[in-house]
Amino acid sequence: MLHLTLRQLKVFESVAKNRSFSRAAEALHLSQPAVSMQVRQLEESVGLPLFEQMGKKIFLTEAGQEMFHYSRAIAAQLEDMEGVLARMKGLDQGRLKITVVSTANYFAPQLLASFCQRHPGVTVSLDVTNREVLLQQLASNETDMAIMGQPPEGQDLSAESFMENPLVVIASPSHVLAGVKQIELKQLAGETFLVREPGSGTRSAMERIFQEHGIAFNAGLVMSTNEAIKQAVQAGMGLGIVSLHTVALELETGRLAILDVESFPILRHWFVVHRQNKRLSPVAAGFKAFLLEEAAALMARNQASPLSSMPSS
């Protein structure tokens, strides 16, 4: 009979998922020797090696792959049990695990803070990541729900829009087009654009609008964050297309300008997304209802100044 602990399984699962003892230690807020000890004790209990090292990389052995499969199943059952017990407690206490794409991090903390003020017994875990990792977390059931742009189809996901996500063209206030009214899209053909990485929802929307109008755009530097794009645009390196929600501070302080370009803003939406058949805890269900019913009005009040400064096309 195996003698193992839930702690050992949790540590093992983190090492297996990260393929690294050091990254697992960082994720679990443990020392690396403590992680190594837990894995070693688990291997002694199982009687088989769970990892093998080749050069600087570690890989799961056949036994390790089986252990990873069962450890994830056990973790999922424990989470289901926790959810059932949480339902008995209602919204007075519980945990919420939510993942958001990096762009949504400009407003998600405000929404979470408002929700937690109403339900002070709730503990929230917020993970900010890129679209690819977010979809992986949803697929592996590692998060209660996610906030993202248009979700992909055919991935067994439930997605509901809760707020508009206007994409705008930003420029340095000293740019020659700043302040010009009714700029034709073709006037931007010779401009250099600072763009997000391929696969980004913002970049896909940008490419689509230019393609629909038969206009080629000049992609300059590719940047992985909106902050980098904003800094580069402020420095006069080119134009950018970003969510209006990411530039509230820069608009208020006059460090960026929104160009009045035809077909802009591109009106997209923010979605709250979770697995299709996931049993939401009362806390998760309550937060989803809060997003659907109140998020748009709350953010409109908070961002009244930036919104009023946006040109109409």
The reported pLDDT for the residue numbered 88 is 56
User: Where in the chain is CATH 3.40.190.10?
Assistant: 90-163+269-305, 165-268
- Per-residue confidence band for 302, with pLDDT thresholds at 50, 70 and 90: low
pLDDT tens-digit series, residues 166-224:
999 999 999 999 989 999 988 888 889 998 887 777 888 888 888 888 888 777 788 87
pLDDT tens-digit series, residues 256-300:
999 999 889 988 899 999 998 888 888 899 999 999 998 888 777
User: Where in the chain is CATH 1.10.10.10?
Assistant: 6-75
Residue whose tokens read 């983190």: 14
**CATH classification for the domain delimited by 165-268, as one of 3.30.1300.10, 3.40.50.720, 3.10.450.50, 3.40.190.10:** 3.40.190.10
**CATH classification for the domain delimited by 90-163+269-305, as one of 3.40.190.10, 3.10.20.70, 3.20.20.70, 3.40.50.920:** 3.40.190.10
Whether the per-residue pLDDT at 250 is higher than 70: the answer is yes
The CB-based long-range contact list for 2-8 (8 Å cut-off, 24+ gap) reads 2/45, 2/46, 3/45, 4/42, 4/45, 4/46, 6/74, 6/78, 7/38, 8/38, 8/39, 8/41, 8/42, 8/45
Provide mean pLDDT across the span 113-119.
Answer: 90
Nearest to 227 by CA among 256, 269, 207, 198: 256
pLDDT tens-digit series, residues 225-238:
889 999 999 999 99
Residue whose tokens read 């700029």: 183
Is the CATH code 2.40.50.140 the one for domain 6-75?
Answer: no
- Per-residue confidence band for 306, with pLDDT thresholds at 50, 70 and 90: very low
